[in-house]
A and B are shown apart, each in its own frame.
Chain A
Amino acid sequence: MRRRIPLIITFIIGVVLITGYFVTRGPFNTLYESFSDYFAIITVFAFILGGGSLLKIHLKRVSSRATDWPYSMVTLVAFLVTLVIGLFKVGNPGGMGGEILASGSWLRFMFDGVYNPLSATMFSLLAFFVASASYRAFRARTKEATILLSAALVILLGRTPVGAWLTAWMPESLAFLELPNLANWIMAWPNTAGQRAIMIGIALGVIATSLRIILGIERNYLGRGE
Protein backbone atom coordinates (compact mmCIF):
# COMPACT_ATOMS: atom_id res chain seq x y z
CA MET A 1 0.00 0.00 0.00
CA ARG A 2 2.88 2.38 0.78
CA ARG A 3 3.97 2.12 -2.86
CA ARG A 4 0.54 1.83 -4.47
CA ILE A 5 -0.88 5.11 -3.14
CA PRO A 6 2.03 7.27 -4.45
CA LEU A 7 1.75 5.46 -7.80
CA ILE A 8 -1.98 6.29 -8.02
CA ILE A 9 -1.36 9.94 -7.06
CA THR A 10 1.41 10.21 -9.69
CA PHE A 11 -0.82 8.66 -12.36
CA ILE A 12 -3.80 10.93 -11.66
CA ILE A 13 -1.73 14.13 -11.49
CA GLY A 14 0.32 13.20 -14.56
CA VAL A 15 -2.78 12.48 -16.67
CA VAL A 16 -4.58 15.64 -15.46
CA LEU A 17 -1.56 17.88 -16.18
CA ILE A 18 -0.98 16.45 -19.65
CA THR A 19 -4.67 16.66 -20.53
CA GLY A 20 -5.00 20.14 -19.00
CA TYR A 21 -2.19 21.38 -21.20
CA PHE A 22 -3.98 20.35 -24.39
CA VAL A 23 -7.64 20.68 -23.33
CA THR A 24 -8.39 24.26 -22.34
CA ARG A 25 -11.93 23.59 -21.06
CA GLY A 26 -13.15 22.63 -17.61
CA PRO A 27 -12.60 20.69 -15.53
CA PHE A 28 -9.11 20.03 -16.90
CA ASN A 29 -7.97 23.66 -17.15
CA THR A 30 -9.28 24.35 -13.63
CA LEU A 31 -7.41 21.35 -12.25
CA TYR A 32 -4.31 22.37 -14.24
CA GLU A 33 -4.42 25.84 -12.64
CA SER A 34 -4.98 24.37 -9.18
CA PHE A 35 -2.05 21.98 -9.49
CA SER A 36 0.16 24.84 -10.66
CA ASP A 37 -0.81 26.75 -7.50
CA TYR A 38 -0.12 23.70 -5.32
CA PHE A 39 3.27 23.37 -6.95
CA ALA A 40 4.18 26.92 -5.93
CA ILE A 41 3.27 26.13 -2.32
CA ILE A 42 4.93 22.72 -2.18
CA THR A 43 8.27 23.96 -3.56
CA VAL A 44 8.66 26.31 -0.61
CA PHE A 45 8.61 23.32 1.73
CA ALA A 46 11.50 21.83 -0.24
CA PHE A 47 13.70 24.43 1.47
CA ILE A 48 12.82 22.98 4.87
CA LEU A 49 13.56 19.49 3.58
CA GLY A 50 16.86 20.69 2.09
CA GLY A 51 17.89 22.50 5.26
CA GLY A 52 17.01 19.45 7.37
CA SER A 53 18.96 17.17 5.07
CA LEU A 54 22.01 19.46 5.19
CA LEU A 55 21.88 19.56 9.00
CA LYS A 56 21.49 15.78 9.26
CA ILE A 57 24.42 14.97 6.96
CA HIS A 58 26.87 17.43 8.48
CA LEU A 59 25.90 16.80 12.11
CA LYS A 60 26.54 13.11 11.45
CA ARG A 61 29.96 13.89 9.96
CA VAL A 62 30.91 16.10 12.91
CA SER A 63 29.68 13.67 15.55
CA SER A 64 31.54 10.73 13.99
CA ARG A 65 34.68 12.84 13.36
CA ALA A 66 34.62 11.74 9.70
CA THR A 67 37.32 12.86 7.25
CA ASP A 68 37.43 16.65 6.88
CA TRP A 69 34.80 17.09 9.62
CA PRO A 70 35.99 20.65 10.39
CA TYR A 71 34.62 21.68 6.96
CA SER A 72 31.24 20.29 7.99
CA MET A 73 31.49 22.37 11.16
CA VAL A 74 32.13 25.50 9.08
CA THR A 75 29.12 24.62 6.90
CA LEU A 76 26.89 24.16 9.95
CA VAL A 77 27.97 27.40 11.61
CA ALA A 78 27.60 29.40 8.36
CA PHE A 79 24.18 27.85 7.72
CA LEU A 80 22.82 28.47 11.20
CA VAL A 81 24.22 32.00 11.53
CA THR A 82 22.79 33.02 8.14
CA LEU A 83 19.47 31.36 8.94
CA VAL A 84 19.09 33.12 12.29
CA ILE A 85 20.16 36.52 10.91
CA GLY A 86 17.81 36.14 7.93
CA LEU A 87 14.79 34.76 9.80
CA PHE A 88 14.91 37.21 12.70
CA LYS A 89 16.21 40.10 10.57
CA VAL A 90 19.02 40.75 13.04
CA GLY A 91 20.40 44.28 12.74
CA ASN A 92 17.72 45.23 10.22
CA PRO A 93 17.03 48.99 10.49
CA GLY A 94 13.34 48.30 9.82
CA GLY A 95 13.08 45.57 12.46
CA MET A 96 11.00 42.46 11.74
CA GLY A 97 8.90 44.44 9.26
CA GLY A 98 11.94 45.64 7.33
CA GLU A 99 13.03 44.57 3.90
CA ILE A 100 15.05 41.35 4.02
CA LEU A 101 18.16 42.83 2.34
CA ALA A 102 17.74 46.38 3.60
CA SER A 103 20.83 48.60 3.52
CA GLY A 104 22.64 48.39 6.85
CA SER A 105 21.14 45.04 7.82
CA TRP A 106 23.44 42.22 8.92
CA LEU A 107 22.18 40.00 6.13
CA ARG A 108 23.02 42.66 3.54
CA PHE A 109 26.49 42.94 5.07
CA MET A 110 26.94 39.16 4.86
CA PHE A 111 25.74 39.14 1.26
CA ASP A 112 27.93 42.05 0.14
CA GLY A 113 30.92 41.39 2.38
CA VAL A 114 31.12 37.62 2.58
CA TYR A 115 29.02 35.75 0.02
CA ASN A 116 29.64 38.12 -2.88
CA PRO A 117 33.48 38.11 -2.78
CA LEU A 118 33.65 34.38 -1.95
CA SER A 119 31.47 33.44 -4.92
CA ALA A 120 33.35 35.75 -7.27
CA THR A 121 36.69 34.36 -6.07
CA MET A 122 35.67 30.74 -6.57
CA PHE A 123 34.42 31.46 -10.08
CA SER A 124 37.48 33.55 -10.98
CA LEU A 125 39.81 30.69 -10.10
CA LEU A 126 38.38 28.87 -13.12
CA ALA A 127 40.35 31.16 -15.46
CA PHE A 128 43.64 29.93 -14.02
CA PHE A 129 42.74 26.26 -14.17
CA VAL A 130 41.21 26.53 -17.65
CA ALA A 131 44.41 28.15 -18.95
CA SER A 132 46.64 25.53 -17.34
CA ALA A 133 44.45 22.63 -18.46
CA SER A 134 44.22 23.97 -22.03
CA TYR A 135 47.99 24.23 -22.22
CA ARG A 136 48.58 20.70 -20.98
CA ALA A 137 45.66 18.78 -22.46
CA PHE A 138 44.43 20.55 -25.59
CA ARG A 139 46.35 18.61 -28.26
CA ALA A 140 45.65 17.97 -31.93
CA ARG A 141 46.15 14.21 -31.52
CA THR A 142 43.30 13.06 -33.75
CA LYS A 143 41.17 14.50 -36.54
CA GLU A 144 38.29 15.11 -34.11
CA ALA A 145 40.59 16.80 -31.60
CA THR A 146 42.04 18.98 -34.37
CA ILE A 147 38.55 20.13 -35.45
CA LEU A 148 37.67 20.89 -31.82
CA LEU A 149 40.95 22.74 -31.30
CA SER A 150 40.51 24.80 -34.47
CA ALA A 151 36.94 25.75 -33.55
CA ALA A 152 38.04 26.72 -30.04
CA LEU A 153 40.85 28.93 -31.34
CA VAL A 154 38.54 30.65 -33.84
CA ILE A 155 35.93 31.29 -31.12
CA LEU A 156 38.56 32.50 -28.62
CA LEU A 157 40.00 35.01 -31.08
CA GLY A 158 36.78 35.76 -32.95
CA ARG A 159 35.03 36.83 -29.75
CA THR A 160 37.58 39.61 -29.22
CA PRO A 161 38.46 42.72 -31.26
CA VAL A 162 41.87 41.10 -31.88
CA GLY A 163 40.18 38.59 -34.20
CA ALA A 164 38.77 41.41 -36.33
CA TRP A 165 42.13 43.18 -36.33
CA LEU A 166 44.06 40.05 -37.35
CA THR A 167 41.88 39.39 -40.41
CA ALA A 168 40.91 42.95 -41.36
CA TRP A 169 43.27 42.81 -44.36
CA MET A 170 41.10 40.24 -46.15
CA PRO A 171 39.37 41.40 -49.34
CA GLU A 172 35.59 41.89 -49.33
CA SER A 173 35.03 38.69 -51.30
CA LEU A 174 36.66 36.70 -48.47
CA ALA A 175 34.92 38.55 -45.64
CA PHE A 176 33.29 35.31 -44.50
CA LEU A 177 36.77 34.10 -43.50
CA GLU A 178 37.32 36.97 -41.08
CA LEU A 179 37.60 35.55 -37.58
CA PRO A 180 34.52 37.27 -36.06
CA ASN A 181 32.40 36.07 -39.00
CA LEU A 182 33.81 32.56 -38.71
CA ALA A 183 33.15 32.57 -34.96
CA ASN A 184 29.56 33.71 -35.52
CA TRP A 185 29.11 31.04 -38.20
CA ILE A 186 30.39 28.32 -35.86
CA MET A 187 27.99 29.47 -33.13
CA ALA A 188 25.01 29.87 -35.47
CA TRP A 189 25.34 26.68 -37.54
CA PRO A 190 27.48 23.77 -36.27
CA ASN A 191 26.83 24.71 -32.63
CA THR A 192 23.09 25.14 -33.17
CA ALA A 193 22.84 21.87 -35.09
CA GLY A 194 24.70 19.97 -32.36
CA GLN A 195 22.74 21.63 -29.55
CA ARG A 196 19.42 20.92 -31.28
CA ALA A 197 20.34 17.27 -31.73
CA ILE A 198 21.22 16.97 -28.05
CA MET A 199 18.11 18.87 -26.94
CA ILE A 200 15.76 16.78 -29.07
CA GLY A 201 17.43 13.62 -27.77
CA ILE A 202 17.04 14.79 -24.19
CA ALA A 203 13.41 15.80 -24.80
CA LEU A 204 12.57 12.35 -26.20
CA GLY A 205 14.28 10.79 -23.19
CA VAL A 206 12.31 13.01 -20.80
CA ILE A 207 9.02 12.12 -22.53
CA ALA A 208 9.82 8.40 -22.35
CA THR A 209 10.87 8.59 -18.69
CA SER A 210 7.84 10.71 -17.76
CA LEU A 211 5.49 8.21 -19.38
CA ARG A 212 7.22 5.37 -17.55
CA ILE A 213 6.80 7.23 -14.23
CA ILE A 214 3.14 8.16 -14.89
CA LEU A 215 2.30 4.59 -15.90
CA GLY A 216 4.12 3.18 -12.87
CA ILE A 217 6.76 1.29 -14.85
CA GLU A 218 9.60 3.40 -13.47
CA ARG A 219 9.50 3.24 -9.66
CA ASN A 220 13.02 4.16 -8.57
CA TYR A 221 11.87 7.59 -7.39
CA LEU A 222 9.87 5.88 -4.63
CA GLY A 223 13.04 4.58 -3.03
CA ARG A 224 13.79 1.08 -1.86
CA GLY A 225 11.78 -1.14 0.43
CA GLU A 226 8.10 -1.93 0.66
Chain B
Amino acid sequence: MRIPDTILQIDRRIIFLLIGAAVCIPLLLKPRFQDSPTPIVQSIFDTVERLPAGSRVFLSFDYGPDTAPELDPMAKALVRHTMTRGHEVSFFTLFPEGVGQIKKITDNLLPVEFPDKAYGRDYVNLGYKAGLGGAINTMVVNFRTLVNADAEGTPLDDLPITADVDEMVDYVIILSLTAGDPGLKEWIQFAGDIAGIPVMGGGTAVVAPELYPYYPQQLVGLMGGLKGASEYESALVDRYPAYRNATMEATMRMGPQVVTHVLIVLLVLLGNLAYFLGRSGPGNRAGRTGQGNRAG
Protein backbone atom coordinates (compact mmCIF):
# COMPACT_ATOMS: atom_id res chain seq x y z
CA MET B 1 0.00 0.00 0.00
CA ARG B 2 1.32 3.47 -0.93
CA ILE B 3 2.03 6.09 1.73
CA PRO B 4 -0.91 8.38 0.80
CA ASP B 5 -3.28 5.42 1.00
CA THR B 6 -1.86 4.44 4.38
CA ILE B 7 -2.34 7.99 5.69
CA LEU B 8 -5.88 8.19 4.33
CA GLN B 9 -6.82 4.95 6.02
CA ILE B 10 -5.56 5.68 9.52
CA ASP B 11 -7.71 3.81 12.01
CA ARG B 12 -10.16 6.27 13.55
CA ARG B 13 -9.32 4.93 17.00
CA ILE B 14 -5.87 6.51 16.57
CA ILE B 15 -7.58 9.86 15.88
CA PHE B 16 -9.76 9.35 18.96
CA LEU B 17 -6.62 8.71 21.02
CA LEU B 18 -4.94 11.83 19.66
CA ILE B 19 -8.02 13.95 20.51
CA GLY B 20 -8.13 12.40 23.99
CA ALA B 21 -4.48 13.30 24.52
CA ALA B 22 -5.03 16.81 23.11
CA VAL B 23 -7.74 17.38 25.72
CA CYS B 24 -6.19 15.61 28.72
CA ILE B 25 -2.56 16.79 28.54
CA PRO B 26 -3.35 20.54 28.58
CA LEU B 27 -5.86 19.89 31.39
CA LEU B 28 -3.01 18.42 33.44
CA LEU B 29 -0.32 20.94 32.46
CA LYS B 30 -2.72 23.92 32.72
CA PRO B 31 -1.12 26.29 30.23
CA ARG B 32 -2.66 29.78 30.39
CA PHE B 33 -3.38 31.68 27.20
CA GLN B 34 -3.94 35.35 27.83
CA ASP B 35 -6.82 36.71 25.78
CA SER B 36 -7.94 40.24 25.07
CA PRO B 37 -11.62 41.10 24.56
CA THR B 38 -12.86 41.78 21.05
CA PRO B 39 -15.31 44.70 20.56
CA ILE B 40 -18.34 42.40 20.45
CA VAL B 41 -17.50 41.05 23.93
CA GLN B 42 -16.17 44.32 25.32
CA SER B 43 -19.52 46.02 24.59
CA ILE B 44 -21.28 43.64 27.02
CA PHE B 45 -18.68 44.31 29.68
CA ASP B 46 -18.91 48.07 29.16
CA THR B 47 -22.73 48.02 29.33
CA VAL B 48 -22.75 46.11 32.62
CA GLU B 49 -19.95 48.31 33.92
CA ARG B 50 -21.71 51.60 33.04
CA LEU B 51 -25.02 50.70 34.71
CA PRO B 52 -25.53 52.51 38.02
CA ALA B 53 -25.21 50.29 41.09
CA GLY B 54 -28.49 48.64 42.00
CA SER B 55 -29.69 48.33 38.41
CA ARG B 56 -32.13 45.50 37.75
CA VAL B 57 -30.56 42.86 35.52
CA PHE B 58 -32.41 39.89 34.03
CA LEU B 59 -30.15 36.86 33.49
CA SER B 60 -31.66 33.92 31.62
CA PHE B 61 -29.88 30.55 31.73
CA ASP B 62 -31.20 29.07 28.48
CA TYR B 63 -29.09 25.92 28.48
CA GLY B 64 -28.62 22.54 30.12
CA PRO B 65 -25.73 20.40 31.35
CA ASP B 66 -24.68 19.33 27.84
CA THR B 67 -23.51 22.82 26.89
CA ALA B 68 -22.50 23.83 30.43
CA PRO B 69 -18.72 23.55 29.79
CA GLU B 70 -19.04 26.43 27.31
CA LEU B 71 -21.75 28.47 29.00
CA ASP B 72 -21.09 28.01 32.74
CA PRO B 73 -17.90 30.13 32.56
CA MET B 74 -19.95 32.92 30.94
CA ALA B 75 -22.58 32.63 33.67
CA LYS B 76 -19.96 32.81 36.39
CA ALA B 77 -18.18 35.77 34.80
CA LEU B 78 -21.46 37.67 34.39
CA VAL B 79 -22.59 36.91 37.94
CA ARG B 80 -19.22 37.98 39.33
CA HIS B 81 -19.35 41.19 37.34
CA THR B 82 -22.96 42.12 38.13
CA MET B 83 -22.55 41.29 41.82
CA THR B 84 -19.29 43.24 42.07
CA ARG B 85 -21.05 46.22 40.49
CA GLY B 86 -23.89 45.89 43.02
CA HIS B 87 -26.65 45.14 40.51
CA GLU B 88 -29.83 43.28 41.43
CA VAL B 89 -29.97 40.07 39.43
CA SER B 90 -33.06 38.01 38.57
CA PHE B 91 -32.20 34.51 37.38
CA PHE B 92 -34.58 32.83 34.97
CA THR B 93 -34.62 29.99 32.45
CA LEU B 94 -36.58 28.88 29.40
CA PHE B 95 -34.99 25.39 29.61
CA PRO B 96 -36.28 22.86 32.18
CA GLU B 97 -32.67 21.81 32.77
CA GLY B 98 -31.71 25.45 33.31
CA VAL B 99 -33.08 25.24 36.84
CA GLY B 100 -30.12 23.05 37.78
CA GLN B 101 -27.70 25.46 36.15
CA ILE B 102 -29.11 28.36 38.19
CA LYS B 103 -28.83 26.27 41.37
CA LYS B 104 -25.12 25.75 40.70
CA ILE B 105 -24.67 29.53 40.87
CA THR B 106 -27.01 30.27 43.77
CA ASP B 107 -25.85 27.30 45.88
CA ASN B 108 -22.14 27.20 45.09
CA LEU B 109 -20.76 30.46 43.70
CA LEU B 110 -22.77 33.19 45.42
CA PRO B 111 -22.54 31.99 49.06
CA VAL B 112 -18.78 31.44 48.72
CA GLU B 113 -17.69 34.52 46.77
CA PHE B 114 -20.41 36.97 47.81
CA PRO B 115 -21.44 36.00 51.35
CA ASP B 116 -22.81 39.50 51.97
CA LYS B 117 -25.33 39.18 49.15
CA ALA B 118 -28.77 38.02 50.27
CA TYR B 119 -31.41 36.05 48.41
CA GLY B 120 -34.48 38.16 47.76
CA ARG B 121 -32.58 41.40 48.22
CA ASP B 122 -29.61 41.16 45.83
CA TYR B 123 -30.65 38.23 43.67
CA VAL B 124 -33.66 36.03 43.05
CA ASN B 125 -34.38 32.80 41.21
CA LEU B 126 -37.51 33.16 39.07
CA GLY B 127 -37.16 29.57 37.88
CA TYR B 128 -38.37 27.90 34.69
CA LYS B 129 -41.36 28.87 32.60
CA ALA B 130 -42.77 26.76 29.79
CA GLY B 131 -43.79 28.19 26.43
CA LEU B 132 -40.48 28.81 24.66
CA GLY B 133 -40.60 32.13 22.76
CA GLY B 134 -44.28 32.47 23.63
CA ALA B 135 -43.35 32.69 27.31
CA ILE B 136 -41.20 35.75 26.57
CA ASN B 137 -44.09 37.30 24.67
CA THR B 138 -46.40 36.72 27.63
CA MET B 139 -43.85 38.25 30.01
CA VAL B 140 -43.56 41.35 27.84
CA VAL B 141 -47.33 41.70 27.49
CA ASN B 142 -48.14 40.93 31.12
CA PHE B 143 -45.13 40.03 33.29
CA ARG B 144 -47.03 39.19 36.46
CA THR B 145 -49.36 36.77 34.66
CA LEU B 146 -46.48 34.39 34.01
CA VAL B 147 -44.11 35.30 36.81
CA ASN B 148 -45.95 35.98 40.05
CA ALA B 149 -43.61 34.10 42.41
CA ASP B 150 -40.01 32.97 42.60
CA ALA B 151 -38.88 29.37 42.01
CA GLU B 152 -39.75 28.45 45.61
CA GLY B 153 -43.25 29.88 45.36
CA THR B 154 -42.62 33.08 47.36
CA PRO B 155 -44.81 35.86 45.90
CA LEU B 156 -42.80 38.56 44.11
CA ASP B 157 -44.41 41.20 46.35
CA ASP B 158 -42.81 39.56 49.39
CA LEU B 159 -39.28 39.87 47.98
CA PRO B 160 -37.65 43.32 48.13
CA ILE B 161 -35.83 42.77 44.83
CA THR B 162 -39.02 42.08 42.86
CA ALA B 163 -41.66 43.98 44.83
CA ASP B 164 -41.49 46.86 42.36
CA VAL B 165 -41.19 44.72 39.24
CA ASP B 166 -44.49 44.87 37.40
CA GLU B 167 -43.36 44.78 33.80
CA MET B 168 -40.50 43.39 31.77
CA VAL B 169 -39.35 46.96 31.07
CA ASP B 170 -38.51 47.34 34.75
CA TYR B 171 -35.32 45.48 33.89
CA VAL B 172 -32.61 47.66 32.37
CA ILE B 173 -30.90 44.86 30.45
CA ILE B 174 -31.58 41.25 29.47
CA LEU B 175 -28.70 38.80 29.45
CA SER B 176 -29.22 35.35 27.97
CA LEU B 177 -26.86 32.40 27.77
CA THR B 178 -28.00 30.37 24.83
CA ALA B 179 -27.64 26.78 23.69
CA GLY B 180 -30.29 26.92 20.96
CA ASP B 181 -34.01 27.65 20.77
CA PRO B 182 -35.35 29.37 22.77
CA GLY B 183 -32.52 31.73 23.58
CA LEU B 184 -30.96 35.03 22.62
CA LYS B 185 -32.74 35.13 19.27
CA GLU B 186 -36.15 34.89 20.94
CA TRP B 187 -35.20 37.43 23.62
CA ILE B 188 -34.25 39.84 20.81
CA GLN B 189 -37.39 39.19 18.77
CA PHE B 190 -39.96 39.13 21.57
CA ALA B 191 -38.43 41.37 24.26
CA GLY B 192 -35.60 43.50 22.88
CA ASP B 193 -37.31 44.68 19.71
CA ILE B 194 -40.81 44.93 21.19
CA ALA B 195 -40.13 46.40 24.62
CA GLY B 196 -36.91 48.21 23.79
CA ILE B 197 -34.84 46.49 26.49
CA PRO B 198 -31.15 46.10 25.52
CA VAL B 199 -30.38 42.41 24.95
CA MET B 200 -26.94 40.80 25.12
CA GLY B 201 -25.35 37.54 26.20
CA GLY B 202 -23.50 34.49 25.03
CA GLY B 203 -23.99 31.40 22.96
CA THR B 204 -22.20 28.17 22.23
CA ALA B 205 -19.70 28.28 19.36
CA VAL B 206 -22.31 26.49 17.22
CA VAL B 207 -25.08 29.00 17.96
CA ALA B 208 -22.97 32.18 17.80
CA PRO B 209 -22.79 32.51 13.98
CA GLU B 210 -26.61 32.63 13.83
CA LEU B 211 -26.63 35.60 16.19
CA TYR B 212 -24.14 37.81 14.38
CA PRO B 213 -26.83 39.33 12.07
CA TYR B 214 -28.42 40.99 15.11
CA TYR B 215 -25.21 42.73 16.19
CA PRO B 216 -24.90 45.66 16.92
CA GLN B 217 -28.38 47.14 16.36
CA GLN B 218 -30.54 44.54 18.09
CA LEU B 219 -27.87 42.70 20.07
CA VAL B 220 -25.56 44.83 22.22
CA GLY B 221 -22.84 42.21 22.40
CA LEU B 222 -22.14 38.51 22.11
CA MET B 223 -19.80 36.01 23.71
CA GLY B 224 -19.23 33.21 21.22
CA GLY B 225 -18.22 29.88 22.73
CA LEU B 226 -15.39 29.33 25.16
CA LYS B 227 -13.30 32.00 23.43
CA GLY B 228 -15.97 34.64 24.13
CA ALA B 229 -16.14 33.56 27.77
CA SER B 230 -12.35 33.72 28.04
CA GLU B 231 -12.39 37.25 26.59
CA TYR B 232 -14.98 38.35 29.15
CA GLU B 233 -12.92 36.83 31.95
CA SER B 234 -9.84 38.73 30.80
CA ALA B 235 -11.86 41.98 30.69
CA LEU B 236 -13.05 41.25 34.24
CA VAL B 237 -9.53 40.54 35.50
CA ASP B 238 -8.18 43.68 33.82
CA ARG B 239 -10.82 45.87 35.47
CA TYR B 240 -10.91 44.05 38.81
CA PRO B 241 -7.44 42.65 39.60
CA ALA B 242 -8.87 40.96 42.71
CA TYR B 243 -10.11 38.25 40.35
CA ARG B 244 -6.57 37.49 39.15
CA ASN B 245 -6.35 34.58 41.60
CA ALA B 246 -9.92 33.36 41.10
CA THR B 247 -10.55 30.22 39.08
CA MET B 248 -11.33 31.44 35.59
CA GLU B 249 -12.78 28.34 33.94
CA ALA B 250 -12.84 29.57 30.35
CA THR B 251 -9.22 30.73 30.49
CA MET B 252 -8.25 27.32 31.89
CA ARG B 253 -10.27 25.42 29.28
CA MET B 254 -8.76 27.39 26.42
CA GLY B 255 -5.67 25.15 26.75
CA PRO B 256 -7.45 21.96 25.59
CA GLN B 257 -9.40 23.96 23.01
CA VAL B 258 -6.25 25.47 21.51
CA VAL B 259 -4.45 22.13 21.25
CA THR B 260 -7.54 20.37 19.87
CA HIS B 261 -8.10 23.07 17.24
CA VAL B 262 -4.47 22.87 16.15
CA LEU B 263 -4.67 19.08 16.01
CA ILE B 264 -7.82 19.17 13.87
CA VAL B 265 -6.18 21.69 11.52
CA LEU B 266 -3.13 19.46 11.19
CA LEU B 267 -5.31 16.39 10.57
CA VAL B 268 -7.29 18.19 7.87
CA LEU B 269 -4.10 19.43 6.19
CA LEU B 270 -2.57 15.95 6.40
CA GLY B 271 -5.70 14.38 4.94
CA ASN B 272 -5.71 16.84 2.04
CA LEU B 273 -1.99 16.39 1.40
CA ALA B 274 -2.42 12.63 1.21
CA TYR B 275 -5.49 13.08 -0.98
CA PHE B 276 -3.65 15.24 -3.53
CA LEU B 277 -0.51 13.08 -3.47
CA GLY B 278 -2.63 10.00 -4.01
CA ARG B 279 -4.58 11.65 -6.83
CA SER B 280 -1.44 12.77 -8.65
CA GLY B 281 0.17 9.29 -8.41
CA PRO B 282 -0.03 7.04 -11.52
CA GLY B 283 -2.70 4.38 -11.46
CA ASN B 284 -3.94 5.31 -8.00
CA ARG B 285 -7.69 5.02 -7.57
CA ALA B 286 -7.92 6.55 -4.15
CA GLY B 287 -7.92 10.15 -5.37
CA ARG B 288 -10.27 9.60 -8.28
CA THR B 289 -12.80 7.48 -6.47
CA GLY B 290 -12.65 9.26 -3.14
CA GLN B 291 -11.43 6.19 -1.27
CA GLY B 292 -10.89 6.78 2.40
CA ASN B 293 -13.51 9.47 2.65
CA ARG B 294 -15.89 7.72 4.95
CA ALA B 295 -17.29 10.13 7.51
CA GLY B 296 -17.08 9.29 11.16
- Taking Cβ atoms with an 8 Å cutoff, the residues of A that contact B are 32-33, 36-37, 39-40, 43-44, 46-47, 99-101, 103, 108, 111-112, 115-117, 119-120, 122-124, 127-141, 149, 152-153, 156-157, 159-162, 180, 184, 187-188, 191-192, 195-196, 199
B132 contacts across to A, CB distance below 8 A: 43
Q: Given A122-B66, A161-B34, A199-B213, answer yes or no on A127-B19 (Cβ-Cβ < 8 Å).
A: yes
Q: Given A32-B141, A44-B130, A115-B65, answer yes or no on A136-B262 (Cβ-Cβ < 8 Å).
A: no
| Whole-angstrom CA separation of A99 from B66 in the bound complex | 23
- Checking A103, A138, A160 against B258 with a beta-carbon cut-off of 8 angstroms, the contacting residue is A160
| Whole-angstrom CA separation of A50 from B263 in the bound complex | 42
- Checking A46, A157, A180, A187 against B261 with a beta-carbon cut-off of 8 angstroms, the contacting residue is A157
A108 contacts across to B, CB distance below 8 A: 100, 103
| Whole-angstrom CA separation of A196 from B214 in the bound complex | 9
Given contacts A36-B138, A39-B137, A100-B151, 20 further A-B contacts (CB under 8 A): A36-B134, A39-B131, A39-B138, A40-B134, A101-B100, A115-B100, A120-B69, A122-B66, A127-B19, A136-B296, A139-B275, A153-B269, A156-B265, A159-B225, A159-B227, A160-B258, A187-B212, A191-B212, A195-B210, A195-B212
Q: Are B66 and A137 in contact (CB under 8 A)?
A: no
Q: Are B15 and A131 in contact (CB under 8 A)?
A: yes
| A-B pairs with beta carbons under 8 Å apart, 16 shown | A32-B141, A36-B141, A37-B141, A37-B142, A37-B145, A40-B130, A101-B100, A119-B97, A127-B23, A128-B16, A134-B267, A135-B15, A136-B294, A160-B257, A180-B38, A188-B212
B35 contacts across to A, CB distance below 8 A: 161
A99 contacts across to B, CB distance below 8 A: 151-152
B205 contacts across to A, CB distance below 8 A: 159
Of the candidates A37, A127, A149, A162, the one having the most CB atoms from chain B within 10 angstroms of its own CB is A127
Size class of the B contact interface (CB-based, 8 Å): 35 or more
Say what secondary structure dominates the interface of chain A: helix
Q: Are A132 and B16 in contact (CB under 8 A)?
A: yes
| Whole-angstrom CA separation of A100 from B257 in the bound complex | 35
| Whole-angstrom CA separation of A199 from B15 in the bound complex | 36
Q: Are A135 and B23 in contact (CB under 8 A)?
A: no
The digit string for B80-107, where 1 denotes a CB below 8 A from any CB of A, is 0000000000000000010110010001
Q: Given A36-B141, A101-B103, A162-B258, answer yes or no on A136-B292 (Cβ-Cβ < 8 Å).
A: yes
Q: Are A131 and B258 in contact (CB under 8 A)?
A: no
The digit string for B33-55, where 1 denotes a CB below 8 A from any CB of A, is 11100100000000000000000
- Checking B100, B267, B270, B296 against A111 with a beta-carbon cut-off of 8 angstroms, the contacting residue is B100
B293 to chain A, nearest CB (A): 6
Q: Are A136 and B212 in contact (CB under 8 A)?
A: no
B231 to chain A, nearest CB (A): 10
- Checking B12, B107, B129, B268 against A149 with a beta-carbon cut-off of 8 angstroms, the contacting residue is B268
Q: Are B262 and A133 in contact (CB under 8 A)?
A: no
Answer yes or no: B68 CB below 8 A from chain A CBs: yes
Q: Are B261 and A36 in contact (CB under 8 A)?
A: no
- Checking A40, A117, A131, A141 against B145 with a beta-carbon cut-off of 8 angstroms, the contacting residue is A40
B15 contacts across to A, CB distance below 8 A: 128, 131-132, 135
| Whole-angstrom CA separation of A112 from B100 in the bound complex | 8
Q: Given A99-B151, A159-B227, answer yes or no on A139-B272 (Cβ-Cβ < 8 Å).
A: yes
- Checking A33, A47, A135, A196 against B267 with a beta-carbon cut-off of 8 angstroms, the contacting residue is A135
A135 to chain B, nearest CB (A): 4
Q: Are B141 and A33 in contact (CB under 8 A)?
A: yes
A78 to chain B, nearest CB (A): 15
B268 to chain A, nearest CB (A): 5
